[in-house]
Amino acid sequence: MTDAAATPVASSGRTALGTKVPVRRLPRWGFHAHNERLHGRIAMLGFVALVAVEWKLGYGILIWP
């Protein structure tokens, strides 16, 4: 005996019972995990670059001597 819910989805996008499986589309705009992760990584790189520039110059770049 097999359970219909445990049956894998066929390549046509339908289950063994013939019901259509909804396909989730990722949003193109707004806040979602991919954009948040990407922007966080870019911000970390920018912060490290700012610290490196300040260390090289000997003073803070946001506070002029």
pLDDT digits (tens, 9 = 90+) for 8-59: 555 566 777 778 877 777 667 777 888 899 999 999 999 999 999 989 988 8
Question: Is residue 15 situated within a structural domain?
Answer: no
Indicate whether 13 belongs to any domain: no
Residue with tokens 């948040």: 36
3 in a domain, yes or no? no
Tokens in use for 14? 């339908």
Domain span at 40: 30-65
* 2 token code pair: 């097999």
pLDDT of 3 strictly over 60: no
The per-residue pLDDT for 7 is: 52
Eight-state DSSP code of residue 63: S
- pTM for this predicted structure: 0.50
Question: CA–CA separation, 36 vs 42, rounded Å?
Answer: 10
